[in-house]
């Protein structure tokens, strides 16, 4: 009878390390699921590149839903450049309980959590490698006490690298709203982001075209939706009202509010279709 070769000590140590890593990942996933268990719908707002107005869309969509009577939160997981705190003009920090759980600040009827709350200097660059970004995102997901919400809007970092991948793998999202602008390069990058979402088997609720109008043109959002067999949720015109940054623009302009209500209705219909 031939004796089977015994694994070396380094091989044993590697196997144990892999098992421990799997246990940690399972525990993190379970903690995140528990923390978000009282949220009915989790919607990611995502783009393939920065500068297309993703945070503007996330903030105004959240405030629109709240204006129409829904209980809403917004989670800013753009660790490198968190902008939701400034966009929402929040000054009150989250409350931290004795068990280290964080209770979000609230503004304009929307609960808010962001890495921006924990920056001592807003202008300081956050220069972190992938594992630190991964840990920060997981801490925000696990330790925030949202309570009962109908919608949690998640403002993701742009691109298709480690940070958005961490969020997509850690969260059981109901779907994504993908933001593009009319420019050709923005459309290409948005298509890349859609392909990433589909590879991870998550639903895309639809496409929004931002900054539409005479200056940058229009139509790329509809083209993208048609090419990718998706719903075109609507276009957001480039308007002078966006110069007023004292509050989300849906609270300033009735025209902008109507545009966002159209997008919100389309996203709700897409959520209903996914649930069937």
CA-to-CA distance for 25 and 61, rounded, in angstroms?
Answer: 32
- Give the predicted TM-score (pTM) of the model: 0.89
pLDDT of residue 3: 66
**Confidence at residue 161, expressed as pLDDT on a 0 to 100 scale:** 76
- Looking at residue 276, its pLDDT comes to 66
Mean pLDDT throughout 114-125?
81
pLDDT of res. 69: 97
Average pLDDT over the chain, rounded to an integer: 90
pLDDT band, very low/low/confident/very high, at 41 (cuts 50, 70, 90): very high
pLDDT tens digits, residue range 156-194?
Answer: 988 887 778 888 888 889 999 999 999 999 999 999 999
Tell me how long the chain is: 276
Cα dihedral 178/184/186/190 (nearest 10): 40
pLDDT at residue 102, as a whole number = 93
Compute the distance between CA of residue 24 and CA of residue 18 in angstroms, rounded to an integer: 10
Domains (range + CATH), the chain: 9-275 (3.40.50.300)
Higher pLDDT, 115 or 270: 270
From 39, 46, 79, 45, select the one nearest 62 (Cα to Cα): 45
Look at residue 2 and tell me whether its pLDDT is greater than 70. no
The pLDDT assigned to 80 comes to 80
């Amino acid at each position: 009878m031939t004796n089977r070769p015994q694994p070396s000590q380094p091989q044993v140590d590697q196997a144990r390390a892999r098992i421990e890593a799997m246990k940690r990942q399972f525990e993190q996933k379970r903690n995140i699921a528990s923390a978000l268990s009282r949220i009915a719908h989790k919607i990611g707002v995502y783009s393939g590149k920065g500068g297309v107005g993703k945070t503007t869309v996330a903030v105004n969509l959240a405030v629109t839903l709240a204006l129409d009577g829904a209980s809403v939160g917004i989670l800013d997981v753009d660790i490198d450049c968190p902008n939701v705190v400034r966009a929402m003009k929040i000054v009150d920090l989250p409350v931290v309980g004795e068990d280290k759980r964080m209770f979000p600040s609230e503004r304009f009827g929307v609960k808010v959590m962001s890495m921006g709350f924990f920056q001592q200097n807003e202008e300081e660059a956050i220069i972190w490698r992938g594992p630190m970004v991964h840990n920060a995102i997981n801490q925000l997901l696990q330790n925030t006490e949202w309570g009962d919400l109908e919608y949690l809007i998640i403002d993701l970092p742009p691109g298709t690298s480690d940070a958005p991948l961490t969020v997509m793998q850690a969260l059981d999202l109901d779907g994504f709203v993908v933001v593009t602008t009319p420019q050709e390069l923005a459309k290409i990058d948005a298509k890349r982001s859609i392909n990433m979402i589909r590879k991870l088997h998550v639903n895309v609720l639809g496409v929004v075209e931002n900054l539409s109008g005479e200056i940058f043109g229009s139509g790329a959002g509809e083209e993208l939706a048609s090419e990718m067999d998706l719903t075109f949720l609507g276009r957001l015109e480039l308007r002078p009202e966006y110069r007023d940054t004292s509050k989300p623009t849906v609270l300033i302009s009735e025209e902008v509010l109507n545009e966002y209500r159209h997008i919100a209705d389309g996203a709700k219909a897409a959520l209903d279709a996914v649930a069937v």
